[in-house]
Amino acid sequence: MHPRLLHYNRIVKTWDVVIVGGGVIGLSLAWRLRRDGASVLIVEKSEPAREATYAAAGMVAHCDPHNPPALAALIAASARMYPEFVRELREESFESPDLRTAGTIAFVGEDESPGCAGARAITDDELARIEPLVSLRGRTYLLPESSVDPRKLGSALEKTLRHSGVDFVTGSPVNEVAVLAGRAAGVRTAKSFYAGDAVVNCAGAWASMIKPFGVPTRPVKGQMVCVVPGPGAHRPGPLIQHVIRTPEVYIVPRSDGRILLGSTVEEAGFDKRVDPDTVQRLHQAAANVAPAIGEMRIHEVWAGLRPGSPDDLPILGPTALPGYFAATGHYRDGILLAPVTALVMSQLLRGRKPDFDLQPFLPLRFAAKSGG
Ligand SMILES: Cc1cc2nc3c(=O)[nH]c(=O)nc-3n(C[C@H](O)[C@H](O)[C@H](O)COP(=O)(O)OP(=O)(O)OC[C@H]3O[C@@H](n4cnc5c(N)ncnc54)[C@H](O)[C@@H]3O)c2cc1C
């Protein structure tokens, strides 16, 4: 599969696959497709990886007891794929997405148990030994989870794609999928048409705005706080080593010493404003876990828009329009699910049977419910 020139009324370059949206899902899919030999164009409304992907904490939280049961197989597979995904990306891009594998310390409720192999309950003594600055006590598990820095992940993916010949059009929102002879033939922006044999909607929280409609995502706001050591605190690396999750807050360390505190889950439309009371509440909740975090300085605050769907499951597969696919709606798990999404979508786009049953995630499930 290679880019070629076709004659319509004039010479038009055409791609095997046009991807709408350059977040972690669109970028990961483009990487996989390019490695399989496809020519790929990403059309992005602003800059790649600056929306939900940029906002994310980056937990690869495959043991979280709140993960939807319907997603168990995809989540487990994606978590297994992560080390290799990151290793290959590092080799190709010479950039590191800061994969951290110390694990997650999870404070869980009486009736909750983590849903993965290798999770084990830990005692207060063990907690004090492995994370001495954590003073909170409770029912605690050590989970074999990892985390990445999604900003670095996005930048590494973009770099490797540009080096491997994937084309980008940035600053151009796609308005609609072009239809020719009853099938998708490319995409239209306000100024241009880009021809493709297949189109994949990876537009995250905005996916529902692209015509023909039928990929019903909605924005679910999440506010985040990043703290750093105050002046005079000369300590290399992060103050804590593990991701820590409590019902009130999660705490995600980065190797450069930053610590992220999250998050809210808000139905607030496309509003990305940050609320000072929420920032204060998250900082205080983290200080209750580890008082030293309360001494840290707020370095950055932001909000991002998770792509939710009507049943909060991803939307993966062909739409009612032949040649038009969706890969979006990853809600709280898009960083975690990127490798397996790229795998199954690339299999579908090559006409192969995907390794996993995508029935619960097909876009057509919403058309069936509404009767049209
Ligand atoms: C605060 C917060 C914390 C999170 N933490 C985690 C976590 O720890 N672990 C995890 O797995 N997930 C986490 N998530 C969820 C994760 O960020 C998302 O599921 C994931 O980023 C979705 O990726 P995406 O590529 O579908 O969407 P996005 O990253 O939003 O990318 C969509 C892209 O499409 C572009 N676009 C939109 N409309 C158009 C258009 N019309 N034309 C062209 N381009 C368009 C956008 O500009 C954007 O670049 C978090 C999210 C938030 C907000």
| Residue 60, pLDDT score | 98
pLDDT given for residue 295 in this prediction? 95
166-199 pLDDT, tens digit each: 999 999 999 999 999 999 999 999 999 999 999 9
Q: Quick one: tokens of 268? A: 């607030």
Average pLDDT over residues 333-353: 98
Tokens of 141: 């598990």
> Could you tell me the distance, in angstroms and rounded to a whole number, from the CA of residue 337 to the centre of ligand 1?
12
Please choose from 53, 82, 272 the residue to mutate so as to test ligand 1's pocket, defined by most ligand atoms within 8 A of CB.
53
pLDDT, mean of residues 61-66: 95
pLDDT, average across residues 224-246:
88
Distance 133 CA to ligand 1 centre (A): 32
pTM for the whole thing? 0.96
The domains located in the chain, with CATH, are 4-53+153-217+311-370 (3.50.50.60), 104-144+219-308 (3.30.9.10)
Work out the pLDDT band at 245, boundaries 50, 70, 90.
very high
Q: How many CB atoms lie within 10 A of CB 10?
A: 6
Taking residues 127-155, report their average pLDDT.
97
137: region left, alpha or beta (phi > 0 left; psi from -120 to 50 alpha):
beta
pLDDT for residue 115: 75
- Reported as a pLDDT band with limits 50, 70 and 90, residue 302 is very high
- Looking from the CA of residue 207, the nearest atom of ligand 1 is 38
Give the per-residue pLDDT at 235: 67
Ligand 1 nearest atom to the CA of residue 59, by list position? 8
Measured distance CA(154)–CA(25) in Å, rounded: 10
pLDDT, position 238 = 83
The residue count of the chain comes to 372
Ligand 1 centroid, distance to 23 Cα (angstroms): 6
pLDDT of residue 372 exceeding 50, the answer is: no
The answer on pLDDT for 12 being more than 80 is no
Integer Cα distance of 3 and 231 in angstroms: 53
pLDDT at 10: 54
**Residue located nearest, by CA, to atom 3 of ligand 1:** 56
Q: List pLDDT tens digits, range 156-169.
A: 999 999 999 999 99
pLDDT at 3 > cutoff 90: no
Report the alpha-carbon distance of residue 317 to residue 138 in Å, rounded.
42
pLDDT at 330 over 60: yes
Contact 260, 151 (CB under 8 A): no
CA 199 to chain centre: 20
* pLDDT computed for residue 369 by the predictor: 55
* CB crowding 328-341: b at 16 or more within 10 Å, else e: bbbbbbbbbbbbbb
Query: How confident is the model over 73-89, as a mean pLDDT?
Result: 98
Cβ of 72: how many Cβ atoms within 10 Å? 13
**Does the pLDDT value for residue 103 go beyond 90?**
yes
258-296 tens-digit pLDDT: 999 999 999 999 999 999 999 999 999 999 999 999 999
SS (H, E, C) the chain: CCCEEEECCCEEEEEEEEEECCCHHHHHHHHHHHHCCCCEEEECCCCCCCCHHHHCCCEECCCCCCCCHHHHHHHHHHHHHHHHHHHHHHHHHCCCCCCECCCEEEECCCCCCCCCCCCEEECHHHHHHHCCCCCCCCCEEEECCEECCHHHHHHHHHHHHHHCCCEEECCCCEEEEEEECCEEEEEEECCCEEEEEEEEECCHHHHHHCECCCCCCEEEEEEEEEEECCCCCCCCCCCCCCEEECCCCEEEECCCCCEEEECCCECCCCCCCCCHHHHHHHHHHHHHHCHHHHCCEEEEEEEEEEEECCCCCCEEEECCCCCEEEEECCCCCHHHHHHHHHHHHHHHHCCCCCCCCCHHHCCHHHHHHHCC
Which pLDDT score, from 0 to 100, does residue 292 have?
Answer: 96
Separation between Cα atoms, residue 330 and residue 135, nearest integer Å: 34
The Cα–Cα gap between 260 and 253 comes to 6
CA of 315 to the centre of ligand 1 (A): 14
Pick from 45, 50, 151, 200 the residue to mutate for probing ligand 1's pocket: most ligand atoms within 8 Å of its CB: 45
Residue 28 burial (CB count, 10 A)? 30
Q: How many CB atoms lie within 10 A of CB 245?
A: 25
What single letter denotes the amino acid at residue 331? Answer: Y
Cα of 267 to ligand 1 centre, how many Å? Answer: 16
- The atom of ligand 1 lying closest to the CA of 58 is 8
Q: What percent of the chain has pLDDT over 90?
A: 90
**pLDDT-derived band at 370, boundaries 50, 70, 90:** very low
Phi first, then psi: give them for residue 71, nearest 5 degrees: -95, 0
Ligand 1 centre to CA of 329 (Å) is: 9
Separation of CA 105 and ligand 1 centre (Å):
25
Residues with CB under 6 A from ligand 1: 20-26, 43-46, 50-53, 55-59, 173-174, 202-206, 210, 222, 224, 262-263, 304, 306-307, 328, 330-336
- Average pLDDT over the chain, rounded to whole? 94
More confident residue, 143 or 110: 143
- The count of C-alpha atoms lying within 13 angstroms of the C-alpha of 320, restricted to the half-sphere facing its C-beta, is 11
